[in-house]
Amino acid sequence: MADSGGSERKGIDRELRRGSLELIVLQLLAPGEAYGYEIVSKLTAETNGALEVTDGTLYPVLYRLERAALVAVRWETPERGVPRKYYRLTDAGREELIRLTHEWSTFAKAMNKLLRRDREAK
Amino acid sequence: MADSGGSERKGIDRELRRGSLELIVLQLLAPGEAYGYEIVSKLTAETNGALEVTDGTLYPVLYRLERAALVAVRWETPERGVPRKYYRLTDAGREELIRLTHEWSTFAKAMNKLLRRDREAK
DNA sequence: CAATATATCGTGTTACGCAAGGTATATTAC
DNA sequence: GTAATATACCTTGCGTAACACGATATATTG
């Protein structure tokens, strides 16, 4: 609406996050287990909101990872408090984390190289 | 259906490209005009295939950019050869290129920072 | 005219991120 | 005791981008 007449080029961020979210979550689980809600706030905090997602976005990701056996799940029901579902990396998850990190790295390098090109051609 | 038990984690590359393709194309047009087929081969060549796309992927991107007035179009029909559609950046396109480059940079920095985290833990 | 190369464009599929809403349990307020 | 708030999980539906696949059209070569 602020973009009068134009095409409103909104969240490219949303598209950029595509495909990197799994990597992000796996990486956040690398130090140890965490539960869903915790991951959301961790992500927001550690990236100053740059990679922020809502829980409605995260849970499907976690479910995908679980189904792919990249994470394992443990319920914890304390005497006080709402039950929490803790996720931790499986061995396959750690391998996948390494693999995806490499893929990301390759991609990012190619992008950066391309974007740096404007110094020759001006 | 083809996914029998195993998780078959295929093209994350495809997802990573999401949202960056517009930026890529704008950047490739920065030095001067080019036509569609040319952009495809340029992209493949300059990134050693890391960001390769097919023409079926590229043309919709170009159409989006044209509709958003980020690129302008010129047909050239030579006496010999198939007509070519040349694209060049508009002023708005140059601004958008700068804007998207910044967005990419912010995103990539956040990702790299997050991925570098594994040196404290472990 | 058949085959190949160049070049553009259209259709249908897939899958992801997200807004929006729903459920359930515990704590605090009155 | 019940209303409100916080915590924590999950589901549905939508929009949209990338891609595979195929169609179209022109020019060259045999």
DSSP assignment of A61-112, as one string? HHHHHHHTTSEEEEEE--SSS--EEEEEE-HHHHHHHHHHHHHHHHHHHHHH
Q: Is B6 a domain residue?
A: no
Q: Is B24 exposed, middle or buried (0-12, 13-18, 19+ CB in 10 A)?
A: buried
Residue A39 scores a pLDDT above 50: yes
Query: A7-11, A85-89, B86-90: which has the minimum mean pLDDT?
Result: A7-11
B7 in a structural domain = no
Average pLDDT over residues B72-94: 93
In a domain, A7, yes or no: no
How far does B119 lie from chain A, in Å, by closest CA? Answer: 10
- Which residue in B47, B117, B118 is closest to A110 by CB distance? B47
The pLDDT of A69-92, averaged and rounded, is 93
Q: What average pLDDT does range A90-108 have in this prediction?
A: 96
Q: Of A57, A33, A32, A31, give the one whose Cα is nearest residue A44.
A: A57
Mean local confidence (pLDDT), A14-27: 95
Domain CATH code at residue A103:
1.10.10.10
Tell me the C-alpha to C-alpha distance, in Å, between residue A113 and each of A62, B41, B54, B86, B97: 33, 17, 21, 24, 15
| B2 assigned to some structural domain | no
- Interface list for chain B against chain A, based on CB atoms closer than 8 Å: 7, 9, 12-20, 22-24, 27-28, 30-31, 46-48, 50-51, 67-69, 96, 100-101, 103-104, 106-115, 117-118, 121-122
Cβ-Cβ contacts under 8 Å for B21 (sequence gap 6 or more)? B53, B57, B58, B61
At B86-96, the pLDDT tens digits run 999 999 999 99
Q: How open is the CA angle A103-A108-A113, to the nearest 5 degrees?
A: 130
Quick check: is A6 in a domain?
no
Q: Structural domain of residue B68, as residue ranges?
A: 13-113
- Write down the pLDDT at residue A66: 97
Shortest alpha-carbon distance between residue B81 and chain A (Å): 28
Q: Using CA atoms, how far apart are residues B45 and A103, in angstroms rounded to an integer?
A: 19
pLDDT for position A78: 82
Kindly report the bases of strand D lying within 7 A of a protein C-beta atom.
6-12, 17-22, 25-28
pLDDT in tens, B18-37: 999 999 999 999 999 999 99
Contacts of B111 in chain A (CB under 8 A): 20, 24, 51, 104, 108
Mark yes or no for CB contact B103/A51 under 8 Å.
no
CA distance B79 to chain A (A): 30
- Structural domains counted in chain B: 1
Nearest to A20 among B16, B109, B122 (CB): B16
Q: Is residue B21 in a domain?
A: yes
Q: Is residue B87 part of a domain?
A: yes
DSSP code for B6: S
Is residue A119 very low, low, confident or very high in pLDDT (cuts 50, 70, 90)?
low
Give a yes or no: residue A30 inside a domain: yes
pLDDT at B103 over 50: yes
